[in-house]
Amino acid sequence: MHSIMKSKLISILVFILASQFSTSLNAAGKSPYEEMAFELTALFRAYRATITLDKKRIHEPNTYFTKENIDQRIKEMHTEVKLKYKAMTNKDYPTDDYSFKGRTRTTLEKSFEKTLRDYVTGYVSLDWKGENKFVKKWDGKMLPARFASYAATNFNKISEGMILIKLTSSEQLLVNVNNKPDDWENKVIDEMIYQTKNNNVAFVEKQEKDQYRFLIPEYYGQGCIHCHGTKEGQLGNKIHPTNIERNIYDLAGAISIIFKY
Ligand code: HEC
């Protein structure tokens, strides 16, 4: 579709969404924005999980993803995402591309595809450019957060700023300055920093004059703790800017979502 038409369509959809959603709550007491933020986050995580759960995709991306097989790889990943999304939300993956949810899903899908295609054509670099030299040990690796933050950047471009998604963390844990939290995000994450999955509220919400914002916490699971944990033999103290103790199930950061209306 032509990009001006597309941008008009997105604006209209967002307008409809805003006018319908500002007042109504669903049966679970969630506003539709909140529900949308949850679903968008689940879908985002489902895509990231396709990377996290397959070591070849993280550690050998240059042989796993090639120009020749990228279409097939993307197809396989979409199939995995559908199953993961269903397992995470108990809902079917939205398949249409005209409802707001469907369009958001399409945008996310495109942004993940673009990340992988940009990678195989050499447009995306997986080399570390930050200050912390230790992190260079993962040069060329498709770390889950790396993949997710390229995909989020693509998502924000494709949605033309109407919905923004960002993976972030507290300044105390921040590895990549490109994921830097704003003041509100940093404050909220710091307030929750000693919480674990079992006793945490799922959501923090903020409404400003032209936007709804959500912060959806993320916790370390088994697959994360070798790098982010601070027990002996783990690498957390080498990658984080402070020595704050991190264990499995501790708060890792948050996915920040902004709906503009
Ligand atoms: C192989 C080591 C490794 C693993 C495994 C890993 N991380 Fe990371 N994580 C990193 C590095 C290195 C960065 C910075 C990467 C970059 O942007 O290039 C990072 C970035 C992040 C960020 C973004 C904020 C920031 O500090 O830049 C979050 C949040 C995060 N990781 C959480 C997790 C979670 C949750 C998991 C498990 C699902 C996980 N990580 C698995 C090493 C790892």
Q: What is the pLDDT of residue 28?
A: 59
Angle at 209 between CA 18 and CA 179, to 5 degrees: 90
Highest-confidence range of 66-75, 77-86, 122-131, 188-197, by mean pLDDT?
A: 66-75
Q: Is residue 121's pLDDT more than 60?
A: yes
CA of 197 to the centre of ligand 1 (A): 18
Q: For residue 80, with 0-12 CB atoms within 10 Å meaning exposed, 13-18 middle and 19 or more buried, which class applies?
A: middle
> Looking at ligand 1, which residue's alpha carbon is closest to its atom 18?
146
Q: How far is CA 124 from CA 52, 119, 136, 157, 199, in A?
A: 18, 5, 16, 16, 38
Cα separation, 153 vs 24, in Å, equals 31
Give 86's contacts (C-beta < 8 A, 6+ positions apart): 92, 93
pTM: 0.87
How confident is the model over 128-165, as pLDDT tens digits? 999 999 999 999 999 999 999 999 999 999 999 899 99
Angle at 161 between CA 152 and CA 190, to 5 degrees: 60
Cα separation, 191 vs 193, in Å, equals 6
How confident is the model over 11-24, as pLDDT tens digits? 544 444 444 444 45
- Please give the average per-residue pLDDT across 166-171, as a whole number: 96
CA of 144 to the centre of ligand 1 (A): 7
pLDDT-derived band at 66, boundaries 50, 70, 90: very high
Cα separation, 105 vs 86, in Å, equals 14
How confident is the model over 30-57, as pLDDT tens digits? 777 888 888 899 999 999 999 988 889 9
- Please give the average per-residue pLDDT across 118-132, as a whole number: 93
Q: What is the pLDDT of residue 6?
A: 53
Atom of ligand 1 nearest to the CA of 176: 27
Give the domain range for residue 126. Answer: 3-260
> What mean pLDDT value characterizes the chain?
87
Pocket test for ligand 1, best of 60, 227, 235, 256 (most atoms within 8 A of CB): 227
Provide the domain count of the chain: 1
Q: What is the pLDDT of residue 20?
A: 44
Q: What is the pLDDT of residue 232?
A: 97
Structure tokens at 97: 């591309």
The set of protein residues with a Cβ atom below 6 angstroms from ligand 1 is 52, 128, 135, 138, 143-146, 149, 167, 169, 173-176, 179, 218, 220-221, 223-224, 227-228, 239, 252-253
Cα separation, 65 vs 164, in Å, equals 27
How confident is the model over 199-218, as pLDDT tens digits? 555 567 778 888 999 999 99
Cα separation, 49 vs 174, in Å, equals 21
Percent of the chain with pLDDT over 90: 64
Pocket test for ligand 1, best of 56, 127, 175 (most atoms within 8 A of CB): 175
Q: 14 with 259: CB under 8 angstroms?
A: yes
